[in-house]
Amino acid sequence: MVIQATDVNGDLRGVVAIGASAGGVEALSNLAAGLSTDLPYAYLMALHIPPGAPSILARIVDRSGPLPAVTAEHGENLQPAHIYVARPDRHLLVADHRVVLSQGPTENGHRPAINALFRSVALAFGPRAVGILMSGVLDDGVLGLGAIRSRGGTTIGQSLDDALFPALPAKARDAGVLDDEVAAGDIGEMLKQLSQREIKEPNMEPDARMELENRIAMTPRFSTNFDAQELGPASGYTCPDCNGSLVSIGEGHFRCRVGHAWTPDSLLTARDNEVETALWVALRSLQEKAKLARQLADSVGHGPLFRRYTALAEETEGALTVLGDRLSASGPRPGGVGDAAG
């Protein structure tokens, strides 16, 4: 079946879902500058922003190009030639040609999560979905591009030499989920070409796993109205957010019982953070133990207790020196860099 240019929601032909992380404000602004007012797409943008941070991303994007950009509101109808920007601490999703804002479980520690957005538009719009992954670190959005492709949609990555942080589109390229790569300012021209295509609706079986993950993303905060254990076997790992057991979903994708989702890179980074926290706790504990032992030694005069506390202090100070020297010699740990839109 060929889908005509007019859809059930007026002139809306499809959606363009855009995700970014570090360096994303510049990338999204450059993309917005190249968009046209006459294309039959609604645009949805998700940027990793800390939950409590006020975001002025919609205003930045609105000033950057010809299309109106607004912070997304739950339940509003998707309109062509409009940009809907995710709110902090809300997943940006779609259903029945409407915006859905959700406080469902975080994915890779993020809400909004790019994977959640891409998965949602893949299910709602199939071959009429376009996914664009831009500047950022780690790999949130790579699985989501795979979901869009699996439902017949089109996937685009920001060209690596154009991205401030090319790791995110590079991961998508390495995963083989990109149809094209283009500079942010040239994406609008590519969308013009895509809008001229005749789109054939492929005959596809429902994807129960993708649909369950989408339902999990849409649940209210702290909801338990699903069984994530249906998604796969136990992985042997635990969730950094809640310490619950993680199930393995396909290759390199995990969820816990209450719905938190992780990719291997994000899970590894979370483990790095846990290890670093544990090491700081160890250093602090050794310092306090040595100080307390010295104070006790000074308070008991000379005798067996003095010798015991002094030996304990010296032993602890030695351990503190060894641990500190080893950690200093290991150098800084590489980590991700994020940015927020104000």
**Residues identified as active-site:** 21, 48, 140
User: What DSSP string runs through 265-313?
Assistant: HHHHHHHHHHHHHHHHHHHHHHHHHHHHHHHHHHHS-SSHHHHHHHHHH
Using only C-alpha atoms, what is the Rg of the chain? 25
Strand partners, 94: 99
Output phi, psi for 237, to 5 deg: -110, 165
Give me the amino acid identity at 112: P
Q: Are 84 and 99 in contact (CB under 8 A)?
A: yes
Question: What CA–CA distance (Å, rounded) separates 100 from 76?
Answer: 8
Question: What CA–CA distance (Å, rounded) separates 80 from 170?
Answer: 30
Residue 9, helix vs strand vs coil = coil
Cβ burial 192-225 (10 Å sphere, 16+ → b, else e): eebbeeebeeeeeeebeebebbbebbbbeeebee
Q: What length is written for the chain?
A: 342
**Strands laid side by side in the 254-256 sheet:** 234-238, 245-248, 254-256, 261-262
280 CB neighbour count, 10 Å cutoff = 11
CA angle 239-124-201, nearest 5°? 130
Per-residue tokens: 317: 């100070």
Per-residue tokens: 328: 């200093």
Per-residue tokens: 80: 């062509």
Question: What CA–CA distance (Å, rounded) separates 71 from 83?
Answer: 8
